[in-house]
Amino acid sequence: MNIKINLLPIIKKKKVKKGDTNLIIIFIFFILILGLIYFFYYTKINSLTNNLTTIQQNINKYKDMETLKNEKIKSDTLLNYYINTINKLGKNQVKFSQFFNTLSQNFPKYAYLTNLDVDLDTKVVRLVGVVDDYYNLGRLLNYLSNFKLLNNVYLSNFSKQVIQGQEGKSTVTFTIIGIWNVGAQQ
């Protein structure tokens, strides 16, 4: 029979209470949970900050686009104004050269114009000229009344004048007023 005897000094181990280990485990879990909460909030704040900077960049880009759009709208409005003005001028274009050319080609040979006035606003044409006698004045007035480029033709003034140095010769000066029918064709 052998009996073992330990001659070394024995160190007594402290016994850890179960309550202390539970407290340490709870503390570690609490720190771990706080770390996880901090990590999730930190990543959430970083993602929101990144989104905010992206949104601000987009806002600046859209502001630039809006100013470009407003400038485009202004230029389009101005261009439309000019196009409409040109179209109106084209439709309402007063073609003096065509009127004068038609009048001169169709004007009777027995009458002579000394003055021709056209009021652009009212389109009133004032013809001042000379004919040999009253008969030709009547023919001229009848001709101009039937001339399609003139409306409301009337004799405004006339007078007989004796030509000096030629006895028995006289001329009749006249003023005829009519309204120019701008769109009419002869």
Percentage of the chain exceeding pLDDT 70 = 89
How far apart CA 32 and CA 35 sit, in angstroms, is: 5
According to CATH, the superfamily of the domain at 96-180 is General secretion pathway protein M, EpsM (3.30.1360.100)
User: In the chain, what percentage of residues exceed pLDDT 90?
Assistant: 30
pLDDT at residue number 185: 56
Distance of CA 64 to the CA centre of its chain: 20
172 has a pLDDT exceeding 70: yes
C-alpha 50/C-alpha 46 separation (Å) is 6
Mapped onto helix, strand or coil, the DSSP state of residue 123 is coil
Q: Cα separations (Å) of 60 from 46, 64, 179?
A: 21, 6, 62
In this prediction, residues 166-174 reach a mean pLDDT of: 82
Hey, what are 55's tokens? 């949104």
Reading the block at residue 186, the tokens are 């002869």
Task: Give the pLDDT of residue 39.
Answer: 95
- pTM beyond 0.95, yes or no: no
Per-residue pLDDT tens over the stretch 31-69:
999 999 999 999 999 999 999 999 999 898 898 888 999
- Mean pLDDT across the chain: 84
pLDDT band at 70 (very low <50, low <70, confident <90, very high): very high
Spell out the domain ranges in the chain: 18-93, 96-180
| CA nearest to 127, candidates 137, 138, 114 | 114
- Indicate the pairing of strand 150-162 with strand 170-180: antiparallel
Q: What is the pLDDT of residue 92?
A: 59
Q: Is the pLDDT of residue 175 over 90?
A: yes
pLDDT at position 120 is 74
Q: What stretches of the chain adopt beta strand conformation (E)?
A: 111-118, 124-131, 150-162, 170-180
Please check the confidence at residue 23 and state whether its pLDDT lies above 60.
Answer: yes
Residue 142, both tokens: 């009848």
Q: Name the pLDDT band for 18 (thresholds 50, 70, 90).
A: low
Q: Is the pLDDT of residue 140 over 80?
A: yes
